[in-house]
Amino acid sequence: MNRKCLLEISVQTLEAAMAAERGGADRIELCANLAIGGITPGVELLRAVRAKLHIPIFSMVRPRAGDFVYSNAEFAEMKSAISLAKESSMDGVVLGLLRKDRHVEIEPTKELVELARPLPVTYHRAFDEIADLRQALEDVIKTGARRILTSGGANGALEGAAVLAELVAAAGNRITIVPGAGINASNIWMVAEQTNAGEFHSGLSSALPYGSSDHEKFEREVRKLAEQIAEIS
């Protein structure tokens, strides 16, 4: 392998964000309440993290935990969250909408992508709820999103590596596939080798629980991942 790879780390506090940057993360996914999969962070957190970090920050836009089928009121909340992310100088947003039949909700997603411009949109792991991931790939591309965060429909990225490789190949230069779920320093090389992806996402939940105040350990775990990324590159 000889490519420049990028490491994105999901965090829910200013302290964890700063630790991730010190550890060598290339980008932050900023959420509230990662224990339930991550929801929209408050504007105070957005501004506090932006004031301290130099690396790009992508803000989660998810009004609640649970499924990804949203009401009109929740859709309006998502639009407001995107506006706040832009006002708070975020570098991107992360979102995902599904229809009741578990297909990509194309037109509303496209509306949010347009609202977010010029910020890029990552379509998150709502993608993994869809049965036909190849069709879902084409549907997400239609929305104008720039990235898809996915485990290839499996519990973890390593388990889904074969499907991820197919998605990376099918995506080509049209959209970036970002493997995520269960990635840590012990397996990122295998995920990278088997998928040929160039960006990787980790919350390091296998290394320490969400909400842990041991930010020194968090920084060490991020550094281990960053060192592996450097070797891949």
Residue 1 belongs to some domain of the structure? no
- pLDDT value at residue 213: 74
* Contact call for residues 180 and 125 (beta carbons, < 8 A): yes
Which H or E run includes 114? helix 106-116
- pLDDT value at residue 1: 47
**Chain mean position to CA 40:** 13
Residue 49 belongs to some domain of the structure? yes
Count: domains in the chain? 1
In this structure, what DSSP letter does residue 20 have? H
Residue 171 belongs to some domain of the structure? yes
Residue 178 belongs to some domain of the structure? yes
Average pLDDT score over the chain? 95
- The stretch 66-70 carries a mean pLDDT of 97
Instruction: For residue 164, give the CATH number of its domain.
Output: 3.20.20.380
Residue 40 belongs to some domain of the structure? yes
SS (H, E, C) 34-99: HHHCCECCCHHHHHHHHHHCCCCEEEECCCCCCCCCCCHHHHHHHHHHHHHHHHCCCCEEEECCEC
- The stretch 78-100 carries a mean pLDDT of 98
Q: Tens of pLDDT along 35-67? A: 999 999 999 999 999 999 999 999 999 999 999
Residue 92 belongs to some domain of the structure? yes
**What three-state secondary structure class fits 231?**
helix
* Contact call for residues 42 and 50 (beta carbons, < 8 A): no
Instruction: Read off the pLDDT band of 148 (50, 70, 90).
Output: very high
Instruction: Read off the pLDDT band of 199 (50, 70, 90).
Output: very high
Residue 151 belongs to some domain of the structure? yes
Q: Tens of pLDDT along 221-231? A: 999 999 998 88
pLDDT over threshold 90, residue 214: no
Note down the domain range covering 174: 6-232
Residue 110 belongs to some domain of the structure? yes
Instruction: Read off the pLDDT band of 232 (50, 70, 90).
Output: confident
